[in-house]
Amino acid sequence: MTATTQHAPPAALPATAPASAHRTRKAARRRRLGACGALMAPFFALLVTVFLIPVGTAVYLSFHSDDHPGLGFGNARTVFVGVRSYTAVLTDPTFLSGLGTVALYCLIYIPLMVLGSLALALLLDSGVVRLRASAQLGLFLPHAVPGIIAALIWLYLYTPGISPVIELFAKADITIDFLGLHTVLPSIVNIALWSNLGYNMVVFYAALQAVPREVIEAAVVDGAGPVRTALQVKTPLVRASIVTVAMFTLVWGLQLFTEPMLLSQSSPMINSRFSPSMYIYDAAFTRNNYSLAAAASVVLLLFTIALSYGVTRWTSRLDRAEEASR
Amino acid sequence: MPGRQSRRSVLAAMAALPLAGAVSACGKGASTASGTGGTTRITFWSALRGSQEVVDEFNRTHDRIQVDFQQIPSGNQGGYAKLSNAARAGNAPDVATIEYPQVPGFAIDGVARDITDMVGDTLKAKLLPQALGLTTFQGRTYSVPLDVEPMVMHYRTDLFDQYGLQVPRTWDEFAELAHTVRRKAPKRRLVLFPTDGAMQFAAYSWQAGAQWFDTSEGAWNVSLADAPTRRVAAYWQKLVDDDVVFMNGVESRQSDAQIANGLVLTRLSGAWDAGAQMRAQPGLKGKWRIAPLPQWDEGRPYVGTHGGSTFAVTKDSSHPEAAMEFIEWQVSHPDALRARLSSGASSQYPAVPGLVPVDRKAFDASYYGGQDIYTLFDEEAHKIRDGWVWGPRMTATGKVMQDGFARVSGGQGTLIGSVRAAQDGTMPDLKALGLSTTQRSS
């Protein structure tokens, strides 16, 4: 913004300016564009290599497949098959149930995550907690543990026979099965919460630091208690962060893979097509059905884009409605 | 691309066999023909125990062909993924080991070569026809069976004596017995219904006359929930509902403990399991015996199979004749079997029944109180119902079914529901592969 305003006046000069000045201006613009290009190039290079090319390949693969006429024992050729793989994916009950599973997972996980990390951030911001720095570090630390290690730790805590937690409960005569039919999803939510709560808390905490102190002081002077200040003054002011966190959590949640993949070794309740990402993995690497896997990936991508778009539209409409009501 | 060989270069290499020395200098791929003395080198992958011993024996007794062996993980532990990926990359071994249920899948994927014209009449005559039938589709053969494993009933003779139980001969007697065991010994159960046992369930259905996959009309007709399967599912559902059988994974510590502590009185599994049991539970020596699997109709006895492996020549192999010679020796020569058995106790039933005397001689029957188990296996193997066809994506079909079984053990759904779910989860796969399919579901 500032750059444009600074350079705007010379550009507005009348065309009768000397030719030399014109050249300098042109050179300056070229330099500016050059610098701009140089700075943006790494981003575009990465965008192309790690996003556009893979997506393009997936789209291509999803429309092509080996042609297996009859029983399929003859020689196969790769041909264009139209939407055959898409029809297969969308009529596959195991894929649809995977979508249902992540939808349920997101319904449990996102509210818990957003509310939990926001509450922690408000608590830290209110100054009630002593040793704020160490509390923050302690909460953030699990995020530094890679997802696969986290899943391994929890796998150990969840597996009957080796888990000290289950043993402890057993001593109190409580049988608990973390990997049972109805408990396995909450168990996965728990792992994700443990890993990401601290990170999102830091995001909220940073946003809260930016809330002008005079606003809060004014609220206090007006007689708002600490709870009221937190809920009715601070929270509305960090709305943008809440939306961002919810969005990122949603996108991550839809790609659920590591935790169930690892837990599936210990629980028959997690099958090889538990989530869409696991379905894709299974389709490609155990069923050798690459075009099916590609079609499922594209469907998942579109589903994710549609949901995030929906969330953005919904929140911006809420914003507008709120402004209108003021 | 050094180290890789495209299909075309393999073909070129075949055409230029006399110049093999020169060609092999261009790239080291699936196999290399070394120029020295006309020795052909082929590669062989297997997860089977005793394969190294077999290969050593082959290399000792053969000059013209030499085999490089690589031990790989068993199929579902990554062995099949390794084979598929290698075939995709064009560096599959010359000879691969594939279990029966996966043969159609690897044949469709173009990993296993059509070897119909290479399986000689002498070998064909030696093989149990039902075994060869499982690797042959529309008259084309894709692999050669090593062993074929009729399902039998292993039982605890000491506990049967202790409770005064009779060995059941029919499934009705078996169900009755399950209730008796529950009554007489509330902590014990007659048998385990394995939640990870789609292959066991397939064997039960096969015995009852089911035809999950049928290729006779030029398309894959899928009917997992046909009448015989519904009968089998209803039978086991009743036993599960009455709480007279255990229901958990068989490949689990829980199941090991049930066997070690004598909580389970019978095991229904392939003939091979007799040897596996000896290695896993040496302490139970003398307590187990083996009987035929219970029958639906004693007048017309049938069994299905559970387990067994086959050898395929891969499409990428540049020495299919040499590979075939090695396979034929491996499945039919007594020296090969002796070498395999030297690696430890095994109770496999050979797909070449002529080798049974070799197996019987090598097998230490003292674990089974001196019972002549091979005579029993021989009788049972000839009862294998002919005409069963495994599906094009059997691992995946089985996994979906097992997911359902696991839910049943958690109190949700039914066995027949799991079977139907497996069919519903299989059809999209087959359609996406472009296979002609029809389905009958009821």
Q: Which residue has the higher pLDDT, A171 or B193?
A: B193
**Residue B351 corresponds to which tokens in the numbers above?**
């797909």
Q: Indicate whether B266 and B414 sit together in one domain.
A: yes
Q: Indicate whether B11 and B32 sit together in one domain.
A: yes
Q: Indicate whether A138 and A15 sit together in one domain.
A: no
pLDDT digits (tens, 9 = 90+) for A211-241: 898 988 899 899 888 888 888 889 999 988 9
For residues A89, A92, A97, A99, the Cα torsion angle rounded to the nearest 10 degrees is 10
For residue A66, what pLDDT is reported?
A: 82
Q: Indicate whether A254 and A151 sit together in one domain.
A: yes
Q: Indicate whether A207 and A285 sit together in one domain.
A: yes
Q: Quick check: A187 contacting B, CB < 8 Å?
A: no
**Of A77, A99, A78, A95, which Cα lies nearest the Cα of A87?**
A95
Mean pLDDT of chain B: 90
pLDDT band at A132 (very low <50, low <70, confident <90, very high): confident
pLDDT band at A326 (very low <50, low <70, confident <90, very high): low
B107, B396, B405 ranked by CB distance to A287: nearest:
B396
Nearest CA distance, B424 vs chain A (angstrom): 7
Interface test with A, best of B224, B403, B438 (most A CBs within 10 A): B403
Q: What is the ipTM of this complex?
A: 0.83
Q: Indicate whether A135 and A97 sit together in one domain.
A: yes
B410/A181 touch (CB, cutoff 8 Å), yes or no: yes
pLDDT band at A19 (very low <50, low <70, confident <90, very high): low
CATH of the domain at B83: 3.40.190.10
A71, A268, A286 ranked by CB distance to B220: nearest:
A71
Residue A175 resides in a domain: yes
pLDDT of residue B150 exceeding 80 = yes
Nearest CA distance, B404 vs chain A (angstrom): 9
Q: Chains A and B: how many Cβ contacts under 8 Å?
A: 120
For residue A6, what pLDDT is reported?
A: 44
Q: Indicate whether B24 and B126 sit together in one domain.
A: yes
Last residue of a domain, one of A56, A80, A104: A80
Q: Indicate whether A236 and A102 sit together in one domain.
A: yes
For residue B3, what pLDDT is reported?
A: 37
pLDDT of residue B8 exceeding 70 = no
Nearest CA distance, A173 vs chain B (angstrom): 20
For residue A18, what pLDDT is reported?
A: 60
Q: Indicate whether A116 and A76 sit together in one domain.
A: no
Residue B40 resides in a domain: yes
Comparing B303-307, B311-315, B409-413, which segment has the lowest mean pLDDT? B409-413
Domain boundaries, position A103:
92-325
Whose tokens are 């469709």? That residue is B108
Q: Indicate whether A113 and A236 sit together in one domain.
A: yes
Residues of A in contact with B107 (CB under 8 A): 73
pLDDT digits (tens, 9 = 90+) for B85-114: 999 899 999 999 999 999 999 999 999 999
Residues of B in contact with A86 (CB under 8 A): none
Mean pLDDT of chain A: 86
Residues of A in contact with B399 (CB under 8 A): 271-273, 282, 286
Residue B212 resides in a domain: yes
B138, B410, B434 ranked by CB distance to A67: nearest:
B434
B432/A89 touch (CB, cutoff 8 Å), yes or no: yes
pLDDT of residue A86 exceeding 90 = yes
Residue B352 resides in a domain: no
Residues of A in contact with B84 (CB under 8 A): 288
- Neighbouring C-beta atoms of residue B14, cutoff 10 Å: 15
pLDDT, mean of residues B258-284: 95
Q: Quick check: A161 contacting B, CB < 8 Å?
A: yes
Q: Indicate whether B275 and B391 sit together in one domain.
A: yes
Q: Indicate whether A31 and A177 sit together in one domain.
A: no
Q: Indicate whether B195 and B301 sit together in one domain.
A: yes
For residue A220, what pLDDT is reported?
A: 87
pLDDT digits (tens, 9 = 90+) for A96-110: 999 999 999 999 999
B429/A273 touch (CB, cutoff 8 Å), yes or no: no
Q: Indicate whether A63 and A98 sit together in one domain.
A: no
Q: Indicate whether B106 and B186 sit together in one domain.
A: no
Share of chain A above pLDDT 90, in %: 43
pLDDT band at B77 (very low <50, low <70, confident <90, very high): confident
Domain boundaries, position B433:
151-305+378-439
Residues of B in contact with A273 (CB under 8 A): 399-400, 403, 425
Task: For chain B, give the number of residues.
Answer: 442
Closest chain A residue to the Cα of B253, Cα to Cα: A161
Q: Indicate whether A292 and A185 sit together in one domain.
A: yes
Q: Indicate whether B121 and B157 sit together in one domain.
A: no
Last residue of a domain, one of A31, A51, A80: A80
Q: Indicate whether B122 and B156 sit together in one domain.
A: no
Instruction: Give chain B's domain count.
Output: 2
Q: Indicate whether B171 and B110 sit together in one domain.
A: no
Q: Quick check: B262 contacting A, CB < 8 Å?
A: no
pLDDT, mean of residues B166-185: 97
pLDDT, mean of residues A119-147: 83
Contacts 24+ apart (CB under 8 A), B218-221: B218/A70, B218/A71, B218/B138, B218/B436, B219/A70, B219/A71, B219/B435, B219/B436, B219/B437, B219/B438, B220/A71, B220/A72, B220/B391, B220/B392, B220/B430, B220/B435, B220/B436, B220/B437, B220/B438, B221/B437, B221/B438, B221/B439, B221/B440
For residue B420, what pLDDT is reported?
A: 96
Nearest CA distance, B380 vs chain A (angstrom): 31
Last residue of a domain, one of B297, B329, B347: B347
Residue B102 resides in a domain: yes
pLDDT band at A268 (very low <50, low <70, confident <90, very high): confident
Closest chain A residue to the Cα of B403, Cα to Cα: A271
| Beta carbons within 8 Å of A290's beta carbon, 6+ residues apart | A61, A65, A283, A284
Share of chain B above pLDDT 70, in %: 91
Q: Quick check: B214 contacting A, CB < 8 Å?
A: no
The model's pTM is 0.86
Q: Indicate whether B314 and B301 sit together in one domain.
A: no
Q: Indicate whether A141 and A24 sit together in one domain.
A: no
Comparing A107-116, A264-273, B115-124, which segment has the lowest mean pLDDT? A264-273
pLDDT of residue A3 exceeding 80 = no
For residue A17, what pLDDT is reported?
A: 52
pLDDT band at A11 (very low <50, low <70, confident <90, very high): very low
Span between the terminal Cα atoms of chain A, in Å: 30
Residue A266 resides in a domain: yes
For residue A12, what pLDDT is reported?
A: 44
pLDDT of residue A1 exceeding 70 = no
Q: Quick check: A61 contacting B, CB < 8 Å?
A: no
For residue B10, what pLDDT is reported?
A: 39
Residue B363 resides in a domain: no
pLDDT of residue A7 exceeding 70 = no
CATH of the domain at A198: 1.10.3720.10
Q: Quick check: B236 contacting A, CB < 8 Å?
A: no
pLDDT of residue A317 exceeding 70 = yes
Residue A86 resides in a domain: no
Residue A85 resides in a domain: no
Q: Indicate whether B108 and B156 sit together in one domain.
A: no
**Residue B320 corresponds to which tokens in the numbers above?**
């299919």
Q: Quick check: B109 contacting A, CB < 8 Å?
A: yes
pLDDT, mean of residues A283-298: 93
B138, B220, B428 ranked by CB distance to A88: nearest:
B428
A273/B109 touch (CB, cutoff 8 Å), yes or no: no
Residue A87 resides in a domain: no
pLDDT digits (tens, 9 = 90+) for B23-60: 333 333 444 444 456 899 999 999 999 999 999 999 99
Instruction: Give chain A's domain count.
Output: 2
A66, A93, A181 ranked by CB distance to B434: nearest:
A66
Residue B367 resides in a domain: no
List the 115-154 stretch of A: residues with Cβ below 8 A of B.
none
For residue A325, what pLDDT is reported?
A: 72
Interface test with B, best of A64, A73, A184 (most B CBs within 10 A): A73
Q: Indicate whether B242 and B387 sit together in one domain.
A: yes
Q: Indicate whether A98 and A50 sit together in one domain.
A: no
For residue B145, what pLDDT is reported?
A: 97
DSSP summary character for residue A268: T
